[in-house]
Chain A
Amino acid sequence: MNILKRLKYSIDRMIAVVVLLGFSPTVFAEVEKETGYNMPRDVSEEGHRITWLIEITMWFLVVLFILMIIWMAIAMFKHGENHEAQYDHGDAKKQVAIALTISTVIFVIVDGNLYVNAMIDLDEVFWNFKDIDCDPKEDETCKTVKIEINAHQWAWDARYAGEDKVFNTPDDIVTLNDLYVPVGQPVYVQLGSTDVIHSFNLPNFRVKQDAVPGNITPLRFQAKKTGEFDIGCAEHCGAFHYKMKGKLTVLSVEDYKDWAQQASRSSAVAFNADDNADARWGWPWVRYSTSGQKLESEQSVTDADAKGGE
């Protein structure tokens, strides 16, 4: 990126921030484009773990690949037709030991690095839902933002618990292809699907998770920067799979609070108990044990609860 571009980038961002602070948070600059062939900008708190692991592995692979090419080139050009072939079956103990050693060393370094780091990352973050699964109703310090997302051909429905912090009540915020999360707070998403399998894809946060009909699947991320980012679908879900695009807006903590309060109140006002049952999709929040096994639902919500609960 040259200086001019960098300058434009920062000015854009400054304007964006001004706009964000001064006006309604929904008025914001276009979703920022990416450049180059690197992974897209990482705007998440934990995505650097994945970025680092992919990048270092790529370096290992490049080195191994170059070694292979050099080896092949020597064999091709130096040990060509005019070179006398060695009569060697290569099964002496020493030769076998060398082959075993080389492959073991590569395995321990490259695969070992991948395995150990992946295990740490999964246990600490990506497959750890216990640590962030607090209940904001009981726990004042709980900062986790919980969102239920229901995928269908070809859009993402999102549901927030709203001001009463309970899912499936009239003040739930429900949006279409439009997600808001606060910066610096863990976001805990549970995904479902109405029709076919979709996959909730956030490349700028380095995560994706399938949405499977008949099942609830979890995903977590945490934004480090404000801005707008694309949500993609990463599982073939029919002819218009490519049009299944959502927008994720990361707001400052205050802006998010304002938005959530406002949205939740207007939801409560607009709530109509006689609505089509489809409008009241949603599920009781699913709890996971530390080993990731599904435990039970936090609450059991029936249609009657949703209608009457205020």
Chain B
Amino acid sequence: MGIQAEYQDLQPVHHTPTKFFYKYLWSTDHKVIARQFLWGGLIFLALGGLQAMFIRWQWAFPGEPVPVLGEIFFGDSGGVITPGHYTSLFTSHGLIMIFWAITPLMIGAFGNLTIPLLIGARDMAFPRLNAASFWTWALSGVMVLTSFMVPYGTAAGGWTTYPPVSGNVGSPGWGQSLFVLALFTTGTATIMGAINYTTTTIRLRAPGMTWMRMPLTVWGQFLTAALNVLFVPVLAAAGILLLLDRWFGTSFYVAGALSGGAAGDPILFQHLFWIFGHPEVYILILPAWGFVGDFVSYFSRKPHYWYKGSVYSMTAVTILSAVVYGHHMYTTGMSPLLGKSFMLLTLIISVPAELLFLNWLHTMYHGSMRKTVPMLFALGTIFVFGSGGLTGLPLATISTDLYLHATMFVVGHFHLTMASAAFLGTFGAIYYWMPKLFGTLANERLAKWHFWFSFIGLNGVFIGQLISGYAGQPRRLYDPFQYAFTEHLLGINQITSYFAFFLAFGQIFFVINWFKCVFGKKGACPDNPWGVGTLEWTVSNPPPVYNFAEIPTVYRGPYELSNPEVKEVLGRDWLGQAEIWPPEPEAPFEQSESEASK
């Protein structure tokens, strides 16, 4: 039995489900689960985005009633956002965007969609666990929505959920508890997914798909999954201890007058939270790095520059991300030795990040750039990640952080890196893999409008926040203009808010496009619309349940673009990963050649 047959034997073809329940709800097909995550993530993205607009409204027009929507959401206060509403808004905005929007979109949807298709597998290693992962995540989403309806409202302790403000005294009621429980639940879903992704990547690569032939997208998803497996349990532990504090009166995190003499420590939570929390920001950006690494190569029609260097850089960042978390806690009064060590380690992370950046830029340079929609989104991602990454340097350094810590500068910085870059990366991926998702290409004109609104909006909002933060505006203020050093910043905040509304408006183009793609008449879609040699484009759009009727054998990396020899013989500038090269001469060809030699 050949190796091919052995692989096929190990991954039997699942029969195509016919009942609605098995087809759409409890489906074990990774492509269906990807679409489920996509829908779920987009709904929560809209919710989190709406909350962001409320926050921006409050900062531009403090205390004024929100037009139109105010009556619906803040009816009890006549449409005005109160300080209580506001703390809930920024808390749940952060948590929802990270755990219920970016995570399901980037990892849930695109991890699921891309890993098996790009490595030549018929499904995930554990298809039922995969389905369980989605429904566990959906359950956690229900908990989040419920938390808005209980007395005292939802979580209000900041997305970081620092006790004691997130404890019983700071946040009474069920809202905060439900949210922490939801975090624990979605963490469980994430771990299920991550075990699946790592196992699939390690075990189910098609014959010939060596580690160094994997597209960077798969590398990004694999490294993200590895970080998830390692660090989400830490968040879960931190959450359980917090719930014990809240429900059973333990005092892991309680100190001072509230503790009644028990010797807990609120800083313990911060350590646990950031041991998870710093890898988390890389969890949210590594998949986007993968997409960008692939897209710049595909659409510059040029092999990825120093592919191995990019792989090593991404791996180095993944490893380093585990040992830099202390830079979130410079002002907590940590041991100077510890603080200085974290500063050095954090600064070191900029070396692999720079290498990765240089590789992207080098890949584009001397290419033949096609400014397609996914490429625009990739370029946008590089742009926002560039500005966001650079502004991280003064935050990584203790003495400069003494001034910048907890200002809007931090907010601008991390929104450029893990929000804007993740946002643009995800939408680039949605447009790129739309044929694989729904068997059609998205409308290009609408998609380009969507890109420009998003790109200008995101930059306007977060560069505006960098400026106001640089001028000293602290984050998380209900009315930021209370202080003599912030009073003059109302103007820049209003401009920033207008950019935010502009950004929100631009999403209409996506919504129209999305509904056209999902429910509209599917136009003819070429099998390989982008001219790319990775495995997913060797199968139909959308692919059959079993992906590959015959598991392919892989001969080369994904970036065999603009090879002059291939161009000469095949007349195209790309070569598939599973194509035999040089092509075995076919019979007539051989004949004519032998004839010619006669």
The judgment on whether A and B are partners is yes
User: Does B78 sit at the interface, judged by CB under 8 A?
Assistant: no
**Interface positions of A from 230 to 279, Cβ below 8 Å from B:** 230, 232-243, 245
CA separation between A47 and B263, bound complex, in Å?
36
Q: Would you call B365 and A80 a contact (CB within 8 A)? A: no
> How far in angstroms is the closest Cβ of chain B from A305?
20
Give the distance in Å from the alpha carbon of A112 to the alpha carbon of B138 in the complex. 46
| Interface pair B485/A40, CB less than 8 Å apart | yes
Q: Are B471 and A37 neighbours in the complex by a CB distance under 8 Å?
A: yes
Query: Do B87 and A36 touch (CB < 8 A)?
Result: no
B564 is an interface residue with CB less than 8 A from chain A: yes
Give Cα distance in the complex from A74 to B366, angstroms: 9
Q: A239 near B83 (CB under 8 angstroms)?
A: yes
Does B76 make an interface contact (CB < 8 A)?
Answer: no
Tell me if B83 and A240 are in contact (CB < 8 A).
yes
Q: Judge whether A168 is part of the interface by a CB distance below 8 angstroms.
A: no
Q: How far is the CB of A244 from chain B (nearest CB, A)?
A: 9
- Residues in A neighbouring B398, C-beta threshold 8 A: 118, 122, 126-127
CB-based contact B361/A85 at 8 Å: no
Closest to B368 in A: A85
Query: Which residue of A has the minimal Cβ distance to B346?
Result: A111
Would you give the 0/1 interface string for B343-385, flagging 1 where the beta carbon is closer than 8 Å to chain A? 1100110110011011101111111111100000001001100
Distance in angstroms from B17 CB to nearest chain A CB is: 43
Whether A68 touches B393, Cβ cut-off 8 Å, given contacts A50-B400, A118-B343, A236-B87, is: no
Cβ-defined partner of A80 (8 Å) among B337, B340, B368, B468: B368
B361:A57 contact, CB within 8 angstroms: no
| Alpha-carbon distance A233/B303, docked complex (angstroms) | 51
Cβ-based interface call for B146 (8 A): no
Docked CA distance A127–B337 (Å): 11
Complex CA gap A232/B482 in Å reads 9
Which of these, B308, B336, B480, contacts A127 with CB under 8 Å? Answer: B336
Residue of A nearest to B165 (CB): A196
Stretch at the interface among B279-287, B402-410, B431-439: B402-410
How far apart sit A31 and B305, CA to CA, in the bound complex (Å)?
56
Enumerate chain A residues within 8 angstroms of B472, measured Cβ to Cβ.
Answer: 34, 39-40, 203
User: What residues on B are CB-neighbors of A245 within 8 Å?
Assistant: 482-483
Supposing A34-B485, A236-B157 touch, asked if A199 and B368 sit within 8 A by C-beta, the answer is no
Q: Within 8 Å CB of A50, what residues of B?
A: 399-400, 402-403
- With contacts A91-B307, A193-B256 known, is A36 near B355, CB below 8 A? no
Which of A53, A85, A218 is the one whose CB lies under 8 Å from B367? A85
Measured in the bound complex, the distance between the Cα atoms of B467 and A109 in whole Å is: 24
Inter-chain CB contacts under 8 Å: number: 325
Beyond A76-B369, A86-B367, whether A103 also contacts B300 by CB under 8 A is no
Is A7 positioned at the interface, with any CB of B under 8 Å from its CB? no
Contacts of A83 in B (CB 8 A): 366-369
A276 to B573, CA, bound (A): 83
B109-117, B264-272, B580-588 - the one binding chain A: B264-272
In the bound assembly, the distance between CA atoms of A223 and B371 in angstroms comes to 55
Given A39-B470, A110-B393, do A89 and B305 touch, yes or no (CB 8 Å)? yes
Q: Are A195 and B164 in contact (CB under 8 A)?
A: yes
Report the separation of the CA atoms of residues A293 and B339 in the bound assembly, to the nearest whole angstrom: 12
In the bound assembly, the distance between CA atoms of A292 and B486 in angstroms comes to 33
Is the contact region of chain A dominated by helix, strand, or loop, or is it mixed?
A: mixed
Q: State whether the Cβ of A23 lies closer than 8 Å to any Cβ in chain B.
A: no
A103 surroundings in chain B (CB, below 8 A): 351, 354-355, 358
Interface pair A65/B333, CB less than 8 Å apart: no
Residue of A nearest to B489 (CB): A37
Distance of A64 Cα from B361 Cα, bound (Å): 13
Given contacts A81-B368, A81-B370, A242-B477, contact A118 B158 (CB under 8 A): no
Most chain B C-beta atoms within 10 Å of own C-beta, residue among A76, A79, A81, A99: A99
Q: What is the CB-to-nearest-CB distance from B250 to chain A, in angstroms, rounded to a whole number?
A: 15
The reply to whether B363 and A90 form a contact with Cβ atoms under 8 Å apart is yes
Tell yes or no: B487 within 8 A of A by CB.
Answer: yes
A217 with B474: CB separation less than 8 A: no
* B333-A199 in contact (CB<8A): no
Which of chain B's residues 202-248 have a Cβ closer than 8 Å to chain A?
Answer: none
Q: Of A8-16, A159-167, A206-214, which binds chain B?
A: A206-214
Complex alpha-carbon distance, A200 and B588, angstroms: 83
Residue among A110, A126, A239, A291 making CB contact with B399, cutoff 8 Å: A126
Q: Which of A100, A117, A208, A233 contacts B405 (CB 8 A)?
A: A208
Contacts of A239 in B (CB 8 A): 83-84, 86-87, 156, 478
Mark each residue of chain A from 114 to 131: 1 if its CB lies under 8 Å from any CB of chain B, else 0. Answer: 110111011000110000
Query: Would you call B397 and A115 a contact (CB within 8 A)?
Result: yes
With A39-B471, A87-B564, A230-B485 already in contact, the answer to whether A210 and B333 are too (CB < 8 A) is yes
The verdict on A213 contacting B258 (CB below 8 Å), with A57-B400, A111-B347, A118-B400 known, is yes
Decide: A218 and B333 in contact? CB cutoff 8 A.
Answer: yes
Neighbouring A residues of B487 by C-beta, 8 Å: 33-34
Contact among B306, B362, B379, B468 for A76, CB-based, below 8 A: B379
Interface assignment of A102: CB less than 8 Å from any CB of chain B: yes
- Which residues of A sit under 8 angstroms from B467, Cβ to Cβ? 37
Q: Does B563 contact A (CB under 8 A)?
A: yes
Check A100/B355 contact, CB under 8 A, given A37-B470, A40-B485, A81-B368: yes
Q: Is A169 an interface residue (CB 8 A)?
A: no
> B366 touching A79 by the CB < 8 A rule?
yes
Q: Is the CB of B399 within 8 A of A117?
A: yes
* B302 smallest CB distance to A (angstroms): 5
From A68, A81, A204, A229, B357 is in contact (CB under 8 Å) with A68
Contacting pair A85 B386 (CB below 8 A): no
**B579 interface hit (Cβ, 8 Å):** no
Nearest CB of chain A from residue B372's CB, rounded to whole Å: 10
A87 near B562 (CB under 8 angstroms)?
yes
- B 295-331 to A, binary, CB cutoff 8 A, 1 in contact else 0: 0000011111111110000000000000000000001
- Whether A212 contacts B483 in the complex (CB less than 8 A), given A111-B350, A115-B343, A196-B170, comes out as no
Min CB gap A5→B, angstroms: 13
Closest A-chain residue to B405, C-beta based?
A208
B594 within 8 A of A: no
B309 in contact with A91 (CB, 8 Å): yes
Which of chain A's residues have a CB closer than 8 A to the CB of B492? Answer: 37
Q: Quick one: closest B residue to A112, CB to CB?
A: B347
Q: Assuming the A-B contacts A122-B398, A236-B165, are A31 and B484 also in contact, with contact meaning beta carbons closer than 8 angstroms in the complex?
A: yes
CB-CB under 8 A for A90 and B306, given A50-B403, A217-B332: yes
B557 to chain A: closest residue by CB: A89
Report which of A38, A57, A210 forms a contact with B471, defined as CB distance below 8 A.
A38
Contact B563 A122 (CB under 8 A): no
Interface residue ranges, A against B (CB under 8 Å): 30-40, 47, 49-51, 53-54, 57-58, 61, 64-65, 68-69, 71-72, 74-76, 79-91, 95-96, 99-100, 102-104, 106-107, 110-111, 114-115, 117-119, 121-122, 126-127, 192-197, 199, 201, 203-204, 206-210, 212-218, 229-230, 232-243, 245, 291-293
What would 16 more interface pairs be, CB under 8 Å, given A87-B302, A90-B359, A234-B405? A37-B471, A53-B399, A61-B390, A79-B367, A83-B369, A85-B561, A85-B573, A89-B305, A103-B351, A115-B347, A126-B399, A197-B165, A212-B255, A212-B266, A213-B256, A291-B336
Q: Could you tell me which B residues sit within 8 Å of A by CB distance?
A: 83-84, 86-87, 156-158, 162, 164-165, 169-170, 254-259, 263-267, 300-309, 331-333, 335-337, 339-340, 343-344, 347-348, 350-351, 354-355, 357-359, 361-371, 379, 382-383, 386-387, 390-391, 393-394, 396-400, 402-407, 467-468, 470-472, 474, 476-480, 482-488, 492, 559, 561-564, 573
Q: List 14 A-B contacts (CB under 8 A).
A: A39-B403, A54-B400, A72-B382, A80-B371, A90-B306, A91-B307, A95-B306, A95-B362, A102-B354, A194-B257, A212-B333, A213-B164, A214-B265, A237-B165
